[in-house]
Amino acid sequence: MGKKSLETWCSDQLHDVLGFSDKSLATFLVDVADKASSVQEIVKVFEEGGHLQGKNDRLVEEFAKDLFRRCHPSSSDPEKKKKRSKAPKRKTEDVVEETREKERVSAVSDDTKETRKRSRPEDSGVNDGEQKRSPEAVSPPEKKDATGEAAEEEETEENMTVEQLREKSRQVYLKSREQREVDLLQKSLADEETLFKGVKLTKAEEKRITLGKKILGMVEEREGRDAIQDGYRLPDSYDDKESKAKQDQDKLSSRYVEEKHEKTEEQLWQEAQTNKATIVKKKHKKDEQDYELVFDDKIDFVMQGTRKGHDRRGDRAKSASRRRTSTKEKEEAKPEAPQSTPQETEHQKILAGRKRLPVYPYREELLAAVKDHRVLILVGETGSGKTTQIPQFLHEVGYSKLGKIGCTQPRRVAAMSVAARVAQEMNVTLGHEVGYAIRFETCTSPKTIIQYMTDGMLLREILTEPDLSGYSCIVIDEAHERTLSTDILLTLLKDIVRYRSDLKLIVSSATLDAEKFSTFFDNASIFMIPGRMFPVDIYYTKAPESDYVDASVVTVLQIHVSQPLDGDVLVFLTGQEEIEAAGEILTMRTRNLGSRIPELIICPIYANLPSEQQAKIFEKTPKGSRKVVLATNIAETSLTIDGIKYVIDTGFQKQKSFNAKYGMESLIVTPISQAAANQRAGRGGRTQPGKCFRLFTAWSFQNELEPNTIPEIARTNMGNVVLLLKSLGVNNLLHFDFMDRPPSDSLIRALEQLYALGALNDRGDLTKLGRRMAEFPLDPMLSKTVIVSEKLKCMSEILSMVAMLSLGAGVFYRPKDKALLADTARMNFARGGGGDHMSLYRCYHDWAQSNYSSIWCMENFVQLRTIRKARDIREQLEGLCERVEIDPAVSVDGEVEPPMKAITAGFFYNVARLGRSGEYQTVKQHKTVYIHPSSVMAKDEKPPTWVVYFELAFTTKEFMRQVAPIEPEWLVEFAPHYFQEIDVAETNKKKKYGKARSKR
DNA sequence: ACCAGTAGT
């Protein structure tokens, strides 16, 4: 083997062993191997050079052996060897000493080794500092060559000891590393000048640039000096007027002092780098040192564990993953299929695809288990094909003759897409034998035998058909997600199964929860089916990260620079704001790096993002670039993006919590659970083995994260659910067999509220009014409002208002650059009084008048998608009204008083009175609350004494959202059991006189 | 003088 190919081979091997390649190192090592008399010597040189610390010994040894073997049978010619000989001794010592010092302070090299020690050897993780800092373009070690030539004359390599070789190894390595750093710095500064020429710089930026220049200056200075020392020493008498030489001369004479100074500077510089990863006030640091981000702003990860994969052949998408999934499955099926003849029909191909699903071999076993047990817990891991196959299996053996087979999904899209897929597999038209039922869109027929639906839909169905007599089997899919509806369904079904012995119930869940489900269903049997997932390596940070947004950006860049361009990156953040911030920083930083890195396409994704922009995440990543998706937990379960290989998990999410005492909601950034973290990691292993970088420590994963997310039922307002349960005849709610009990507070509040609204009588039984209210898929207070509005003849207004209210926020779009225009448009709806409630009504009304125009929406800063949902809700409510024999078209033509009276009748529980210092106090709990600044009432000069609010939200303060003024008399009129004339009058008086009295 | 994670009937 020629020397050249030996070097190439060595370089390749280095990549496997070290995680990075370095040509000069390879050349050097070949020389070392040439001279070495034993394998062990190579290993030693290698180790001492600082390349290998922490690497797997076995691998290293194998590599060394191999190298040794390859070198020795064919002794190489001495001419070539000469090239790579040792530098002058003095120089070596200098560099070695200096660099040892450097290593002690440098986070980069030391921590990298530290990390390696704990990483798997075959892993070429992002924590490989060298690779990260050495994009191929940036390592021209010219200096080294010069050194080599200078050395050539002095010594022949025959005289070199192994000891010297080690020094040399270390020197080469450190030198090239230093060179790369300097190079990057130079380019960064050059970028700065070209890109931001003429742009006014902030102080921090200025400081940063000055610092960078200073460092460069120092390096140059030293290099000049080194050159002199290395090559030849200037005679003392040599006195040139040329300033450069003179300066160098001066430096020489004052070397000691200078060097000391220089070292201190350098130490400071490096200390700053070291601290960067861990220091608490990271943000400020970041501002100062943006330019070094790729190699200094580094986060150290430790690999610990792998999320195991199954069946590496390919991934079968999670059943919860919609339409895309099904199309994907189809595509996927083709290459896997045994070479299909052209005659083979599309349908035959699909059938062949079915047989390859992991669930297929378990068919008979599973059906036997279903036959023997009424309730079966199914652990079907992601990609097993359970969602599409199990209902078909049940149908094939005849369960469909006894009744429909129902399968619930937590999400609408899932229900639709899975149904479509199954219809295709069964070769029937969607909506005939196979159908789906979701709100606003039921696609079934009397022929339907397999019906997919949302869990909420089945819950509503139980209301009309309490024993589910039309069904022979029910499959509750994705039960581990523990949605509110799933939880309620499970309890109800547990009961139904008891007296309907012919009903089969299959509860499908992820591994972790299977035991819990089994226990809940009186130790039901568990049936396991493996899935198809690729393994995902899990990395943790060595130290906690204080600023996870910044840390995630740094990690993205680390991955982007150090990992092959073979997979996209998915980052989990908590919300829109963070996603935008991270996006901006990323754009900035990648721009600073210019063309030295491949293109990075940044795609934000969150539910409120306009659909066109959402579509961007599904676009295929162009060659030579990488996509980074910044997502909320929407990407955790709700949508699946192909091509993701790297997942960055900040470990946080926003979670709603409900304070039953005040009926107040808050959205808080909370640490995720272990289960959620694993779910997120799994997102990286869908199409290929992946890597997940967790921006928290392994310790905190074990000790600080809850094993499971607190189920929704424990965090939500139960008003709706309690009304539903009451109308199903569940009398003793406190003894209802919840899988996880909601806080009693929250149940009691719901009962209290329903009693106050008149939906329950004093014995806790459902009243006639309550029964009517339960018909509406709305919060009890809204249902009450709708029912009352019949008498007030303002159905039309209230239906629009209710539809808009139940959307929550997000109707009004407020871009930062046009905030003023948006506000003006919004205030337009407020003209004519009636606060936010009437504004919402007028908004909907005007839109309807414009013939549901999208241009109208743009002009008025209204989100089309959201208001369209309001239209859907309104139309559904209309339909329900007709069923309860209420005419939904009755209107008062936008008059304010009647609809506001109806709102008062429903929301008297949510009334606040103006206090002395301009703050409001809730009537019930006397809690001080404020009008939310987004309200049209926020800027009113004369705040009304009495207001009604739609909801209470705690953010920075206790805010009332959607506020409207009311007359206290209405309270007495519509909630006489709650307010008496005297209350209203007295409180008024109290307020007036109380103020005066308290001053005296 | 705020700032909305996701899903569902």
CB count in 10 Å sphere of residue A335: 7
Check the CA dihedral A479-A481-A486-A488 and report its sign.
positive
CA-to-C1' span, A638 to B7 (A) = 9
The DSSP element (H or E) to which A926 belongs, if any, is none
Per-residue pLDDT, averaged over A702-720, amounts to 93
Name the residue with the least CA to C1' distance from nucleotide B5.
A654
The pLDDT confidence band at residue A315, using thresholds 50, 70 and 90, is very low
The 10s digit of each residue's pLDDT in A809-832 is 778 888 778 888 888 999 999 988
The 10s digit of each residue's pLDDT in A263-306 is 444 455 444 444 443 333 333 333 333 333 344 567 888 888 77
DSSP-assigned letters across all residues of A616-675: GGGSPPPTTEEEEEEE-THHHHT---TTEEEEEE-SEEEEEEEETTTTEEEEEEEEPPHH
Q: Which nucleotide is nearest to A779 (CA to C1')?
A: B9
Name the residue with the least CA to C1' distance from nucleotide B3.
A577
CB A412 within 7 Å, strand B: yes
Whether pLDDT at A1000 is above 50: no
Whether pLDDT at A24 is above 70: no
Position A779: which residue type? D
The 10s digit of each residue's pLDDT in A954-994 is 999 999 999 999 999 999 999 988 887 766 665 554 444 33
CB A826 within 7 Å, strand B: no
Distance between CA atoms of residues A622 and A929, nearest Å: 52
CB A201 within 7 Å, strand B: no
Name the residue with the least CA to C1' distance from nucleotide B7.
A411
The pLDDT, as a whole number, for residue A378 is: 94
Residue A219 or residue A363, greater confidence: A363
CB A917 within 7 Å, strand B: no
The pLDDT confidence band at residue A849, using thresholds 50, 70 and 90, is very high
Kindly report the pTM of this predicted structure. 0.67
Question: By the 8 A CB rule, do A643 and A686 touch?
Answer: no
Of A residues 667-696, those with CB within 7 angstroms of nucleic strand B are 667
CB A482 within 7 Å, strand B: no
The DSSP element (H or E) to which A960 belongs, if any, is strand A958-965
Distance between CA atoms of residues A118 and A105, nearest Å: 21
Q: Which nucleotide is nearest to A873 (CA to C1')?
A: B9
Q: Which nucleotide is nearest to A808 (CA to C1')?
A: B4
Distance between CA atoms of residues A309 and A602, nearest Å: 28
In A626-757, alpha helices (H): 634-637, 674-682, 698-703, 719-727, 744-757
Contact partners, residue A1, CB within 8 Å, separation at least 6: A9, A70, A74
Tracing tokens 């961007």 back to the chain, one arrives at A616
Q: Bridge partners of A930?
A: A959
CB A717 within 7 Å, strand B: no
Whether pLDDT at A234 is above 50: no
CB A438 within 7 Å, strand B: yes
Range with the lowest mean pLDDT among A444-448, A836-840, A983-987? A983-987
The pLDDT confidence band at residue A85, using thresholds 50, 70 and 90, is very low
Bases of chain B within 7 A of a CB of the protein: 1-9
Whether pLDDT at A344 is above 80: no
Residue A43 or residue A531, greater confidence: A531
CA-to-C1' span, A335 to B8 (A) = 37
Per-residue pLDDT, averaged over A770-779, amounts to 93
Residue A191 or residue A598, greater confidence: A598
Of A residues 451-470, those with CB within 7 angstroms of nucleic strand B are 454, 456-457, 459-460
Residue A596 or residue A933, greater confidence: A933
CA-to-C1' span, A827 to B1 (A) = 17
Per-residue pLDDT, averaged over A232-237, amounts to 38
CB A950 within 7 Å, strand B: no
Q: State whether residue A675 is helix, strand or coil.
A: helix
The pLDDT confidence band at residue A642, using thresholds 50, 70 and 90, is confident
For A473, the token pair is 């089997």
For A938, the token pair is 């926020």
